[in-house]
Structure 1
Amino acid sequence: MATIGKITQATSGTAAVRYAEGKEKLKASTKQFLLKSGVDSHVVDQLHDRAVVKSGMNIDPEFASTQMKATRSAFGTTGKETVRVIQSFSTADLNPANPKDWQKANEIGYQLARKAFSGHQVAIYTQLDGTGHKLHNHIVVNMPNLKTGKKYHQHHDWQRLSAISDDICREHGLSVIERSKDPRE
């Protein structure tokens, strides 16, 4: 089942991007898991970053930190610099040992960014490390809107983002957690 697990704001956009990208920080244990799971050794040998797939909306994910900083500077944005969203996928839906599923997870994250954060710079980093090697996206959203310069403010973000993510996942044939509107139902 796909879920939105965590939504936080970061004071340092650079730190948020660095963590999500994880340059040169892919653990040997993750590489061993992939090899034991049958991923081609040539594919595994080329992996070095925690993010196995990267994409961006209104931004190049390789230069996200610099580009986001320039945008915040241009608009004079202060305080919290980015919003971080973690979107996770069940191994029953997306196989962490299938590079095509890595791409699919990232595409779903990109679609979430497009629908939820229109007008913002967004970097999507897909990882498969951690407990259980579940595929998950680190979605880093720059605070200022590219047209207005106003900071991103959204109340009830978890409910809104979960609903958007669920719709996208259903379109891709993935399972989602069925939630009632009122938990007392």
Structure 2
Amino acid sequence: MGDSLGLIGKRLLLLLNDGSSASAAGVGTDPAAWLRGTVRAVSVIGLESPGVEVFVEFEKSPCRQRSWVQMYGDEVRAVLVESAIVWVNCSDPSLSLPPALVAAATQWPALLFKPLVDRVGLGSVVPVEFFGPRTLSFFPNGNSLHTFETEKDMIHSLLLEQPALQAAISSWHRDSELQEILRKGQLRLPINKRTL
């Protein structure tokens, strides 16, 4: 994703520098340290630009509601962007999953995030947010993840048993497709010169 316009409408996870000297690896995988939000605008076209800023509408952040964030600025330690839906194997005992998920199913759908900026050394750590409870988890690698195939998996028994979960995934998929159409397509609006 070299085009910053592709970020508009995407969900981000942001880890900002709070000035503490805590271990980067420990803080990086602490779900409470991450801010969640949606990109509403970008300042320049191209992610390679050192001055690229994103206007983020934050979720449940008492100190920030909306603000510009300089992606490569000193304040930013990590930026993760939503990427795809995956199945997480809940039966792996090495994973620390929410008990409700483990009890409910052997697999659970989650939103996979990919790093755009990583100054904390996440390396092979894989961040996901579970659909439903919206719990953020960090896995040591991608071994417990499996591709979510929309055509086939939208009729998976777990989703059929939980319509709210199916609706959340369907909504994300629909929004993702629409964002891609708008990003790649050409939009021409007729302008009536008499009303200008």
Q: TM-score, normalised by structure 2?
A: 0.29
**Higher relative contact order, structure no. (Cα contacts within 8 Å, ≥ 6 residues apart):** 1
Structure 1 or 2, whichever has the larger Rg, is 2
Report the structure, 1 or 2, having the larger strand content: 2
Report the structure, 1 or 2, having the larger helix content: 1
